[in-house]
Structure 1
């Protein structure tokens, strides 16, 4: 079964912050990281249950899973009905997602998440 993947505006903001931070030193590395992140997120369209349950499950009171990207970033997501919803992108050194963060903002489709091209 293929799951549609949706990303919350907050998760997209997380990704954009990391992209901008990395792009300060190297626009190419920032774009490569961002494009790799999107590719990793896209893999969640098949077999999202392969990913482990995140510790945030206890805080949020709902099953939250994570996919580790680039050894340092956790893509926090849930399976809502027939869709995968990305809630946050966190560096492994960041605090866990809070219940308040989980309850914020609706999701949107992932198709419109490409970074601006750098010259």
Structure 2
């Protein structure tokens, strides 16, 4: 089965912000290659998106949240998505694109 990919407006903004962040410490060409790789990784979700593990955010939401890791080391990003099979066309909805070091979405704030 082939899934349609649908980006939330938040995920689009987060991808753009990550690209801009890359341009601050590398060449425009390398940042462009990184961005193209990100899009290619997301496109891979058209086939077998459930191969990706459940994200740690899953505990805080009513829908199943999965993640696809992209990048290496300090430049690892987590692509958070949900699989919608009850649509006319089965869809993978990209919810967020977050740096691996970012706090878990939905996790309560820890008070000092």
TM-score scaled to structure 1, two decimals?
A: 0.79
Q: Which runs of 5+ in 1 are unaligned?
A: 100-119
State the number of aligned residues.
Answer: 99
3-state SS of the aligned residue for 1:77? Answer: strand
Counterparts of 1:37-48 in structure 2 under 5 Å?
Answer: 37-48=38-49
**Which structure has the bigger radius of gyration?**
2
Q: Which runs of 5+ in 2 are unaligned?
A: 108-112
Higher RCO (Cα < 8 Å, 6 or more apart): 1
Name the residue aligned to 1:2. 2
User: In the alignment, is residue 93 of structure 1 matched against residue 97 of structure 2?
Assistant: no
TM-score scaled to structure 2, two decimals?
A: 0.84
3-state SS of the aligned residue for 2:101? Answer: coil
RMSD across aligned positions (CA):
1.2
CA distance in structure 2 between the aligned counterparts of 1:13 and 1:30, rounded to whole angstroms: 16
